[in-house]
Amino acid sequence: MFIVDNYFLAVVFCFVTMLCWGSWGNTQKLASKSWRYELFYWDYVIGMVLFAALLGFTMGSFGDGGRPFVTDLAQAAGKSIGWVLLGGVIFNASNILLSASVSLAGLSVAFPLGVGIALVLGVIVNYLGAPSGNPVMLFLGVAMIVVAIICNGIASGKQQSGSDAAVNNRKGLMLAVLAGVLMSLFYRFVVKGMDISNFETPAPGMLTPYSAIFIFSLGVLASNFLFNTLVMRYPFVGERVRYAEYFRGSLSTHLTGCLGGAIWCLGTAFSYIASGEAGPAVSYALGQGAPMIAAIWGVFIWREFKGAPKSVNRLLALMFLLFIGGLALIVAAGN
């Protein structure tokens, strides 16, 4: 299988993770014109599973190091599989809750709050579980990214002042907090099922990144029959969604959702692959800079801040500066 064998390449992979995690939402935006999120999410999960299998049979099966994908799956211990499946279930719950909180409290309130909590708690959890790098630089970098996320939230709030999307709904805030706490935990459970200290000759029974992302995606898919079915039946906002509506979607709409899942899966797989060299804390922290990537899409591609007042533009400029500075510190922390 393909293995990252140096820190520089690991950082490159982490940046790909950040780009993917911050960009897959564009597919939801494209599909949302005629497609409810609950329906989009099924295609998203299907795309995740299919792409995880593709990675396993390509990058996970070629090369001289480590165990091939199928061999690795066959030798995996039940305990390792269980940890990774649990990580997939936790992630799925957090992702659905975060989406619901956005629909209730607005993107500018819910997303920075949920992902900000996930970033801070996640780095702490992953660092305590597998300490690596300079903790002072690591947590200072995380703090700068958190401030950048806050700037983004304030800017979005000013831009959307008076709109329904910016209403500070109490239920939405509670869901965002819960989503952030859950999201901070999933990565650590996945890492517990992997031998991140030695991908070259992994311990018997432990998983490699390629088998881990595949099993993780199966955990997401299995739990989706419960979580997403409940959300479809009892939506946090809007009318009830029926499964019959899913089968009335066009091929292009379904493929758009699958593409979103594939993009997210690529980023997550690269994060797992990089964790052996960069360490779980650095890998996770760089990936969770994704809200800023999403902000870049919103500012420069979707033009969501077109015509914004100067105060908003200043906040956006400060956000990007803090974001770049925080990333630089996180990269330096692991070197």
Q: 37-57 vs 209-233: helix axis angle to the nearest 10? A: 170
pLDDT tens profile 86-117: 999 999 999 889 877 776 765 555 666 777 78
CA gap 93, 227 in Å, rounded: 7
Q: Give the pLDDT score at 31.
A: 85
Tell me: pLDDT of 163 over 80: no
Q: Among residues 290, 278, 272, which one has the least CA distance to residue 326?
A: 290
Residue 207 phi, psi (nearest 5): -100, 155
pTM above 0.85, yes or no: yes
Structure tokens at 315: 């906040």
CA distances 327 to 15, 29, 265, 334, Å, are: 9, 27, 22, 11
Structure tokens at 154: 């304030």
For residue 194, the cross-strand partners are 207
Q: Give the pLDDT score at 128.
A: 85
> What value does the mean pLDDT take over residues 22-40?
85
Confidence of residue 152 (pLDDT cuts 50, 70, 90): confident
CB 299 within 8 A of CB 30: no
CA dihedral angle for residue 124, residue 125, residue 128, residue 134, rounded to 10 degrees: -40
Output the average pLDDT for the chain: 87
Q: What percent of the chain has pLDDT over 70?
A: 93
Q: Give the pLDDT score at 228.
A: 96
Tell me: pLDDT of 166 over 60: no
Q: Give the pLDDT score at 1.
A: 93
Q: How many residues does the chain have?
A: 335
Structure tokens at 142: 């995380």
CB atoms within 10 A of CB 190: 30
Residue 248 DSSP SS3: coil
Structure tokens at 177: 């907090």
Q: Give the pLDDT score at 335.
A: 67
Q: Give the pLDDT score at 177.
A: 85
- Give the contacts of 72 (CB within 8 A, at least 6 positions apart): 1, 60, 66, 202, 207, 208, 210, 211
Q: Give the pLDDT score at 253.
A: 94
CB 305 within 8 A of CB 157: no
CB 193 within 8 A of CB 81: yes
Q: Among residues 108, 231, 230, which one has the least CA distance to residue 161?
A: 108
Domain locations in the chain as residue ranges: 7-132+168-279
> What value does the mean pLDDT take over residues 306-335?
85
Structure tokens at 206: 């432990």
DSSP string for residues in 177-225 = HHHHHHHHHHHHHHHHTB-TT-SSSPPTTPBPHHHHHHHHHHHHHHHHH
Residue 80 DSSP SS3: helix
Confidence of residue 182 (pLDDT cuts 50, 70, 90): very high
Structure tokens at 141: 């970098």
